[in-house]
Structure 1
Amino acid sequence: MWFPRLPSDRVLRAGLGHIADNNRPFALIHHEKNTDRIYCLNPAAEAQGLHRGMGFSDARAYCPDLQSEPADKIADAKFLHTLARWGKRYCPWVGLDGTDGLMLNIAGAAHLFGGEAKMLNDMRHSLARAGVKGRVAAADTRGAAWALTHYARTYTEDITSLPVAALRLDAKSDTSLQRLGLRTIGDLLALPRATLARRFGPDVMLRLDQAMGAQDEVIAPLGEAPHYSVRMTLPDPIGLVADVMMGTERLLVRLCDKLKAQDMGARQLQLTLRRVDQGAQQVELRLAAPMRDAARILPLFTRGVDAVDAGYGIDQLRLEATQVERLLDAQINASKASRPDGLEDLITRLGNRIGLDNIQRFLPADSHIPERSFQSVPAAYSSPSGSWASLHSRPLRLFTPEPIAAVGSKPPVQFRWRRMSLTTGRATGPERIAPEWWLPDDNWRSGVRDYWKVDTREGRRLWLFYTPQNPSWFVQGEFA
């Protein structure tokens, strides 16, 4: 099977709201060589003279009503895997062929559909109903099937009449053969093997033998996705929390072994407890970081298991990692200690009560504006990183600028702030901060600010700024 327009078919069959008509010219765009180029397009766009690799600006000049979307290669790969799962309804041996094709070994399965011809017709009709453009062909070898889907005008055409490019040759070999007048596979077969091998090397001979069946070519089947789930059926019902926790511990050890074998860590776990009356209780655990340490995870289940209603007893436990992430082993040596895990466990405990998204941490942001120099992100989905780089110290507390009564461009000797009379003891500054004109922020549109660090005789250490374009004084922060 070959899907020549797999990326565009994936988007069009999804029925995006802003694409009014699938019969209009449509193209997917990706950035390549410092410009946007066409990655995939539908037949209506090809009819307008557009082609893959064409610059997007040129394409819009040729076709002003061209609809476009950014390409998503990850989504295309997932869609191809979905088609591979669909292909298993015809045979169990299905493998990927590049990024836009499938290879099926239908030996011993075609008779279930009434023969190869009926099986292929069923495949074509199913793809057409699904809105996927696909070319399907059957042959005795993988190379011949590939040649028929990519180059044959009819699916019963003899491959000897196909161009030499149908042998899956690289561009250099294809060009060299055509310059010598060898344009079809039949032309290659007419030459002596010794001459062909000596002139063009073993690669051309290998592809030719694979297509004609003289050299075997294996179809690697697509492996099943790992399933991270374990269960335990009990001979007698249990109901005590200690017994449930003991069973959960055994399941966790088995599950963590599976995760470690795949270099994965669990981010979300679900414990299902089946009662003897066929009812079920579920305990869901969301982790602040990917984990596969059973000893660390087990205590986090305690609160959820305590709230379970065992009824007349529990006879089956099932533990599943419903969300996993890549987790490679970390190297630990004498010079670098392992990262402490107590904070992640605390975030997990609190997050399962109030929600992981409600536990925030501050991270540095690339901005010299005080209000924009940090960002608040969920602690469970981020890690402490970066640092605040500033030539001048910053206050521990920042708040909305509060005006004070003062005149002149130097810090006032005396001023009132929050109903307190304060006297300036020492003033350090100024530090001029200009607005970031490329960001929309009305508070900074008025112009520059001159910041001063003011130590008062009353013990308050404040951060004041002066606006020269509109002479005014404000307090925006307080040092510890």
Structure 2
Amino acid sequence: MTHRRILSLWFPRMGAERLLRQARMAEDLPFAVLRDSGQMKVISSLSITAESQGLSCGQSLRDAMAICPSLITKLQNPQLEAKFLTSLCRWANKFSPWVAEEVSNALVIDLTGCAHLFGGEEGVVQQVELDCIDLGLSVHIGIADTKGAAWALARYVGQPLSLNRTGDAIDQEAHATRSRAIKRRNWEQGGQAPCLKSSKSISCRIAAPGFTRQALLPLPVAALRLEGHVIRSLNRLGLCRVEDLLNQPRAAIARRFGKGTVYRMDQALGVAPEPINPSKQTLHFACRLTLPEPIGFMEDMLAALDKLLPRLSKGLESKGRGARRLRLEVYRTDQTMQWVDVGLTRPSFECARMRPLLEMKLAEIEVRFGIDILRIVATQTELIYAQQHKGRIDLGAEMSEGLSSNTDLDDLIGKLGARIGLETITRLHPGNSHIPEKAAQTIAAAWSSPEMNWPNSGLSRPLIYFQPERVIALEVPKVPLQFKWRGQVHESASAYGPERIAPEWWLAERAWHTGTRDYWKIVTKTGDRLWLYFAHGGLLSGGWFCHGRFA
């Protein structure tokens, strides 16, 4: 029978090492990450050097500076740490597709049926260690049949069992009482309690299949993920190891310490199920080029793009997706970076359509002392084709035809958008309303297709619309023979109408508070063709208004 195998990865110094890695600081510097706790700042993460000088997580900044005056600190950013853990989750997908994030900077991986791809579980451990060395991260690893056991092995294997007792170590029987305890010692009077050390050598991080219980026995009871007050109570009674706890009657443990303690024991031993809910895998398309020497000329950056874009294109094509937005990130030798964004009017994985847009943006990049790393990320992608009921040959032909046909206008919009922004380039689409100013709606051209079938109402509409402007004329429904508009007096030569348009009663629009309108197409003696209407009045007084001009 195939045993379920769980891999637990714990990054105890992730917060500090992430910032050290980002700032490219020396690893031997005492560094700490701080978080706010009430009215003071406490340490949330430490570097190895800071730990070696006696600092610990949860310690106040004042005490830490007294111990280590040269300590370098920085405030915690939980959002960025969560994003970094998500990136590590994406990295861990190389070992198994079933990866989940855990609190306290940890990952849990269902390794069942995957370890042989790396030469066994020992090969997985070696690969994880090598990758984490490259990433500059400390990692603790545990592999077992259950999630709880792997969690325990990753955190407590190789750690000395040191417990400060606050009471008597009484004989552990089901009905132990105070009368059967040994004589009280000096630590009960406020003295230092003796230190209990494990008599067994705990060195194995991998529990063999079927030997989960044996691997857990020498570990401290804290390895069962119990609450703090329960751990203190167990230690006070002398139940220091998992072995001590498992040798006690379950009923007595449940009665004394609650059912949660027994449930945690069952989870660690595999008696109670503990499923793993994998994190949702998001498609990520990015490629990076690290240069041996810094570059700064335009020709060199174009050559770097020519190396990056085919790799990005291959990744997009393999998933049937096309890029809609691209980001080019450049990292300079002075440890600064800059990025530029471009957008495509339609999804594409073709290098010929992405390269010209990025080339136009290269002039915005400040080279300074040189660029040694370039990275391209497809920040927004879309499916190029979504039909699945067609055959592979037909679907491929349709996709190729859609990518190669009628791209001139899209390429033009993309190049203009790289200069002035895609949001500023718009096109009109028919609107679902009888109101003249709502007969068309403005939509960004990059995210819409031209509408070929416009509804034909047979009604004449002006070429230019503007906000209704007051016309000075007699306030009667008849066409005025003479009116004043924009400071000029106009005389009517001919008029066509009226066309009555009522407001949308379900919308309380201020522009229509003047009531129902009678529209007239009026041709003046000077040749102007204007679109006037007479408002019959409503919440606001009516009168004559000019709403547009014909060609």
Place the TM-score, normalised by the shorter chain, in its bin: 0.5 to 0.7
For the pair 1:263 / 2:279, whether they are aligned, the reply is: no
For residue 520 of structure 2, what is the aligned residue in structure 1? 452
For residue 86 of structure 1, what is the aligned residue in structure 2? 102
Superposed counterparts of 1:391-410, under 5 Å:
391-402=458-469, 403-406=471-474, 408-410=476-478
Distance of 1:390 and 1:94 partners within structure 2:
65
Superposed counterparts of 1:189-200, under 5 Å:
none
Seen in structure 2, the aligned counterparts of structure 1 residues 85 and 281 have a Cα distance that, compared at 3 Å, is same
What amino acid maps onto 2:512 in structure 1? W
2:415 maps to which of 340, 349, 352: 349
8 Å contact kept, 2:226–2:261:
no
Give the secondary structure class of the aligned counterpart of 2:225: helix
Task: Report the CA distance between 1:393 and its aligned residue.
Answer: 2.2
Count, aligned residues? 314
Superposed counterparts of 1:268-283, under 5 Å:
268-283=325-340
8 Å contact kept, 1:332–1:338:
no
Distance of 1:355 and 1:454 partners within structure 2:
40
Gaps of 5+ in 1: 1-77, 96-102, 126-152, 158-210, 213-217
For the pair 1:295 / 2:352, whether they are aligned, the reply is: yes
What amino acid maps onto 2:101 in structure 1? R
For the pair 1:417 / 2:480, whether they are aligned, the reply is: no
2:543 maps to which of 461, 472, 477: 472
Query: Once the two structures are superposed, what CA deviation does each residue of 1:46-68 show, in whole Å capped at 9, x if it has no partner?
Result: xxxxxxxxxxxxxxxxxxxxxxx
For residue 239 of structure 1, what is the aligned residue in structure 2? 296
Query: Once the two structures are superposed, what CA deviation does each residue of 1:232-287 show, in whole Å capped at 9, x if it has no partner?
Result: 23344433212211210221111121112223332332223334455444333244
8 Å contact kept, 2:286–2:377:
yes
Task: Report the CA distance between 1:228 and its aligned residue.
Answer: 1.3
Seen in structure 2, the aligned counterparts of structure 1 residues 447 and 359 have a Cα distance that, compared at 3 Å, is same
Seen in structure 2, the aligned counterparts of structure 1 residues 154 and 337 have a Cα distance that, compared at 3 Å, is closer
Give the secondary structure class of the aligned counterpart of 2:108: coil
Superposed counterparts of 1:19-418, under 5 Å:
84-86=100-102, 89=106, 91-93=108-110, 110-113=152-155, 115=216, 121=225, 224-328=281-385, 332=398, 340-385=406-451, 387=454, 390-402=457-469, 403-406=471-474, 408-418=476-486
Task: Report the CA distance between 1:90 and its aligned residue.
Answer: 5.8
8 Å contact kept, 2:330–2:339:
yes
Give the secondary structure class of the aligned counterpart of 1:363: strand
Seen in structure 2, the aligned counterparts of structure 1 residues 290 and 388 have a Cα distance that, compared at 3 Å, is same
8 Å contact kept, 1:266–1:292:
yes
Query: Once the two structures are superposed, what CA deviation does each residue of 1:285-305 show, in whole Å capped at 9, x if it has no partner?
Result: 244443322111111122321
Distance of 2:300 and 2:291 partners within structure 1:
11
Distance of 1:220 and 1:407 partners within structure 2:
73
Seen in structure 2, the aligned counterparts of structure 1 residues 338 and 476 have a Cα distance that, compared at 3 Å, is farther
Query: Once the two structures are superposed, what CA deviation does each residue of 1:63-117 show, in whole Å capped at 9, x if it has no partner?
Result: xxxxxxxxxxxxxxx9xx999322793631189xxxxxxx976675653356498
8 Å contact kept, 1:94–1:104:
no
Seen in structure 2, the aligned counterparts of structure 1 residues 359 and 337 have a Cα distance that, compared at 3 Å, is closer
Give the secondary structure class of the aligned counterpart of 2:101: helix
Gaps of 5+ in 2: 1-85, 91-98, 113-144, 157-215, 230-258, 264-269, 387-394
For residue 54 of structure 1, what is the aligned residue in structure 2? none
What amino acid maps onto 1:356 in structure 2? L
8 Å contact kept, 1:414–1:422:
yes
Distance of 2:368 and 2:536 partners within structure 1:
74
Task: Report the CA distance between 1:229 and its aligned residue.
Answer: 1.3
Give the secondary structure class of the aligned counterpart of 1:85: strand
Distance of 2:519 and 2:358 partners within structure 1:
51
Distance of 2:402 and 2:379 partners within structure 1:
33
Give the secondary structure class of the aligned counterpart of 2:477: coil
Give the secondary structure class of the aligned counterpart of 1:447: coil
Query: Once the two structures are superposed, what CA deviation does each residue of 1:175-195 show, in whole Å capped at 9, x if it has no partner?
Result: xxxxxxxxxxxxxxxxxxxxx
What amino acid maps onto 1:233 in structure 2? T
8 Å contact kept, 2:514–2:536:
no
For residue 439 of structure 1, what is the aligned residue in structure 2? 507
Distance of 2:110 and 2:355 partners within structure 1:
40
What amino acid maps onto 2:106 in structure 1? R
Percent identity of equivalent pairs: 38
Distance of 1:90 and 1:273 partners within structure 2:
30
What amino acid maps onto 1:251 in structure 2? L
TM-score (normalised: structure 1): 0.53
8 Å contact kept, 1:90–1:106:
no
Give the secondary structure class of the aligned counterpart of 1:399: strand
Distance of 1:345 and 1:316 partners within structure 2:
28
Seen in structure 2, the aligned counterparts of structure 1 residues 124 and 254 have a Cα distance that, compared at 3 Å, is farther
Distance of 1:396 and 1:442 partners within structure 2:
24
Distance of 2:404 and 2:455 partners within structure 1:
25
Task: Report the CA distance between 1:377 and its aligned residue.
Answer: 4.0
What amino acid maps onto 2:375 in structure 1? R
Distance of 1:86 and 1:334 partners within structure 2:
43
Give the secondary structure class of the aligned counterpart of 1:318: strand
Task: Report the CA distance between 1:477 and its aligned residue.
Answer: 0.9
Tell which structure's C-alpha radius of gyration is larger. Answer: 2
Distance of 2:306 and 2:402 partners within structure 1:
31
Distance of 1:290 and 1:337 partners within structure 2:
9
